[in-house]
Structure 1
Amino acid sequence: MPLRTRPRPLAVVSAGALAATLAGCSTPEPSPGVTDDTVTVGTHTPLTGPAAAGYSSISKAVSAYFDHVNAQGGIHGRTIEYVVKDDGYNPATTQTVVRELVQEDGVFAILNGLGTPTHASVLDYLNENEVPDLFVASGALLWDDPEQHPWTFAFNVDYTTEAKALAQYALDEGGDDAVFCVLGQDDDYGEDFVAGLEAVLGADALAVSETYAVSDQDVTAQVGAMQAAGCTHNFLATVNGFTARTVGTAAQMRYPAQWLASSSGGDYPTLAGYLGEDVAAAVLEGFVSANYLPFSPDSDWVALFREINDEYNGGEPFTGNTVYGMSVAYTFAQALAAAGEDPTRESLVEALESGDVSGNGIMPLAFSADSHRSFGGVGITVVNDGVQDYVGTAFTTDAGDGPVEPYDGAAPAPEDEGVPTT
């Protein structure tokens, strides 16, 4: 009989070990949206619809900044391609265009998707598909949940923090005899903002709490209710169009009040675009808003952004949306640089959670493995003779019932002409 041999386990194990070793040494598969020469990201934003006039210029500013970066060689030798899709501020459309970006355009990440109701409709989809969901253009608390949504990172300061800082400012400026009221959007925006006001002012401190829907064409009833209640200090959780509509309506009703707005609806140049320069100068003098980005006319960031706007943004007006969009683009470029020479979706998230990405706000970003909240506080801006600028100190606080405290730390400064290298 022929001699039958048994299998040789040692040889099989050795081959397996060798295969594992080779796999460990091989270059990881590139992530979608990354080639040798390019990185492609996409966004959903309202280029049409009820929010377009207030926000459509943001994506133009992002694109202009990426053109600036690309003209200097990009990040790690890759230029940044930016795909913009219009969702009309309609959640159903948002779902369609985001799926197109992920499944057809194969983007590396979604960058600065705009709106609370719109982006909430794709939050789970992006995380289930492990797509980096960076710098959401909304201050809702939904974006800071690394356990349930590890791929999502906020950019706007959350509305609760903004409201707490604005409430503290109102108290500090002599609000002992003030009658506090609020007008808010009828979604998480307004609800989170009211929670912040009540955390500082008290649960029963708001004489009137009015709401509006983005489909509304008129806010006369809401303004009338505030006037009838004798409201002296009106907080606004409104988008820019409704801020202008509210303040303009109050002026027509001859109702003077102190207006204090969230950053999402508090950009003076944008409001002046709605109201007209002469009307804005009359009705927005003393207008108060929260913010966290470098808007001061003498800021080095503003000087850089103006140069980029002039060269790459086709003559677009320089507004708060310009600063916002370019700040988003800079922060993404910084994160991409930190993600390494061969970036993956995983290394991009790791870079953000490392704490090495500072951004360009009036205080550094506060991302970590345990928190995807962007900035830990805001400054207060006031309009004086048509110029909107920061006054006093910035404030830091949490999104709960923690104290509101002054911030005296340093702000990141622009380096290397705003093109991150490490």
Structure 2
Amino acid sequence: MPRTRSSLVLTVALLALSALAGGCSSDTQPASAACDTPGVTADQVRLGLLYPDSGPTASTLAAVRGGVDARLGLANEAGGVHGRKIVYDWRDDQGTTEANAIGARDLVEGKGDFGILEYSLAADGSAGYLAERDVPVAGLAASDGWSTRRNMFSFSYTNGAPTDTYGTFVKSHGGTRAVLLTTALSTGVNDAGARLSTSLRAVGIGVVDQIGYTANADNPAAIARRLAATGADTLLTVVGTPDLPAVLRELPATGWNPKVILSLSGYDGQALAEADGAMTGVVVPVFYRPFEAGGAPIAGYLDAMSRYAPQIANPRQDLAMIAYIDTDLFLRGLQEAGACPTRKGFVDALRAVHSYDAGGLISPLNLSTNLGRPTTCLAFVQATAAGTFDVLDERLCGRELPASGGAG
């Protein structure tokens, strides 16, 4: 899968110290005794990390290990969980379901790891196997398996039913008629586009046309003219950030100046710099507290990344933050599971948590009801001409719409 598409699918899949410790405050009391649970000894818990260290999605997912290292480093500095240090083994699933299945079995049966942190588009390769054994999993919900299996935890599900949050935002900024710019290269991306369109229709905003764009095949100027000809005042796009600027650069020549440009990807400082001003004004939804919002939760994340993941030169990255939060979520499960955790006990205990916010990094979640449910509370940031982002809305909450996509 080319980097352009894999980045967008992940975004779709999408799309601090004292305060952050509240997301999973460590119990530094010594463990009472060694347990016979796999991966749990008197002084440590072994986890497995499954992600593509090679293959077509490797460069996109490189930052996730830094997020894991930072959150575990912070936890271990505070004494671990129930007096146990948290360590991990890792396997490269190469971004394929076959290697994903092999890697999961090796971590669970070969290394005897207690649970899995997983960041892969190929997670369905091992989802059934891990569910049968009640192996706790936390990570990026980038495949269908996450939405139906009770042992698989994520703080954000981007598939499933649509929400009206996007539509509410667009309406509040004057949008009345929208056009969707999509790509013909990915079913998952186009599904995200359909949910976005449904969100706008739910609040009374018509989506008057859908226009496909394939980089290096379609003429960006011609696409820009087609967009302008729709008469819409809002541009919705699920085209990947590396490709989108080529179309945006052509918009001024058409005389079209939409009130809102809403893109499901693009919250990336490096991509913004590479766009050289073309992304100015583009709004991107974010599933966690934006970096620009600051405060103790963001300060704690940045400090932990600096100390425990110095290999990540720019910690203000989507996937590093997502991995950090999901690792915090797993640590919360270990805390709730007690001094001698079992895999099933972990799953039951974490599913019983009714308010989880990763120490202020996300809107509170009820983990007993969020399985497969879409994220309804989002932040919205806007790219500036200076190559930065401004926070337009730190927390906008909407409602889940019927799966049929009606306005409900």
What range describes the TM-score normalised by the shorter chain of this pair?
Answer: 0.7 to 0.9
Larger Rg: 1
Q: 2:36 aligns with which of 14, 30, 51?
A: 30
Q: 1:299 aligns with which of 287, 295, 299?
A: 295
Does structure 2 conserve the Cα–Cα contact (< 8 Å) formed by 1:63 and 1:82? no
Partner of 1:390: 391
Q: Alpha-carbon deviation of 1:374?
A: 7.3
Q: Alpha-carbon deviation of 1:280?
A: 3.3
Change (3 A) 1:350 1:173: same
Partner of 1:348: 346
Q: 1:80 aligns with which of 76, 86, 93?
A: 86
Partner of 1:8: none
Q: Alpha-carbon deviation of 1:270?
A: 4.6
Does structure 2 conserve the Cα–Cα contact (< 8 Å) formed by 1:58 and 1:322? yes
Q: 1:100 aligns with which of 99, 106, 121?
A: 106
Distance 1:36 1:184 in 2: 53
Which of 315-324 and 65-74 deviates more?
315-324
Partner of 1:335: 333
Query: CA offsets, 1:234-292, max 9 Å, x none?
Result: 43445xxx322232454378777654233xx33222524xxxx2x43502222211112
Computed over aligned residues only, the root mean square deviation of the Cα atoms, in angstroms, reads: 3.4
Distance 1:250 1:400 in 2: 33
Change (3 A) 1:211 1:113: farther
Change (3 A) 1:176 1:359: closer
Q: Alpha-carbon deviation of 1:222?
A: 8.4
Distance 1:86 1:150 in 2: 24
Q: Alpha-carbon deviation of 1:173?
A: 1.6
Partner SS state of residue 179, structure 1: strand
Does structure 1 conserve the Cα–Cα contact (< 8 Å) formed by 2:135 and 2:344? no
Partner of 1:176: 176
- Output the amino acid matched with 1:129: R
Does structure 2 conserve the Cα–Cα contact (< 8 Å) formed by 1:134 and 1:152? yes
Distance 1:129 1:380 in 2: 39
Distance 1:219 1:348 in 2: 50
Is 1:251 the counterpart of 2:219? The answer is no
Residues 49-128 of structure 1: pairs in structure 2 closer than 5 A: 49-115=55-121, 118-128=122-132
Distance 1:211 1:91 in 2: 29
Change (3 A) 1:134 1:168: same
Does structure 1 conserve the Cα–Cα contact (< 8 Å) formed by 2:180 and 2:209? yes
Does structure 2 conserve the Cα–Cα contact (< 8 Å) formed by 1:164 and 1:197? no
Does structure 2 conserve the Cα–Cα contact (< 8 Å) formed by 1:143 and 1:373? no
Distance 1:29 1:284 in 2: 54
Does structure 2 conserve the Cα–Cα contact (< 8 Å) formed by 1:367 and 1:374? no
Q: Alpha-carbon deviation of 1:394?
A: 0.9
Name the count of aligned residue pairs.
359
Higher relative contact order (CA 8 A, sep 6+): 2
Partner of 1:235: 236
Question: What percent identity do the matched residue pairs reach?
Answer: 19
Does structure 2 conserve the Cα–Cα contact (< 8 Å) formed by 1:365 and 1:375? no
Query: CA offsets, 1:369-419, max 9 Å, x none?
Result: 6845474432222223333243234123225358999xxxxxxxxxxxxxx
Distance 1:81 1:51 in 2: 25
Distance 2:164 2:136 in 1: 30
Q: Alpha-carbon deviation of 1:199?
A: 4.6
Distance 1:299 1:130 in 2: 37
Residues 371-390 of structure 1: pairs in structure 2 closer than 5 A: 371=371, 373=373, 375-384=375-384, 385-390=386-391
Q: 1:290 aligns with which of 270, 285, 289?
A: 285
Distance 1:90 1:236 in 2: 28
Partner of 2:268: 268
Which of 44-53 and 253-262 deviates more?
253-262
Distance 1:311 1:120 in 2: 34
Q: Alpha-carbon deviation of 1:81?
A: 1.2
Is 1:197 the counterpart of 2:197? The answer is yes
Distance 1:290 1:377 in 2: 10
Change (3 A) 1:391 1:177: same
Change (3 A) 1:29 1:330: closer
Unaligned runs of 5+ in 1: 1-26, 406-422
- Output the amino acid matched with 2:300: L
Partner SS state of residue 122, structure 1: helix
Partner SS state of residue 195, structure 1: helix
Is 1:156 the counterpart of 2:156? The answer is yes
Distance 1:370 1:54 in 2: 27
Change (3 A) 1:394 1:343: same
Which of 103-112 and 354-363 deviates more?
354-363
Partner of 1:22: none
- Output the amino acid matched with 1:309: M
Does structure 1 conserve the Cα–Cα contact (< 8 Å) formed by 2:50 and 2:92? yes
Change (3 A) 1:375 1:30: farther
Does structure 1 conserve the Cα–Cα contact (< 8 Å) formed by 2:163 and 2:400? no
Which of 55-64 and 219-228 deviates more?
219-228
Partner of 2:48: 42
Is 1:318 the counterpart of 2:315? The answer is yes
Distance 2:217 2:81 in 1: 47
Q: Alpha-carbon deviation of 1:161?
A: 6.5
Partner of 1:6: none
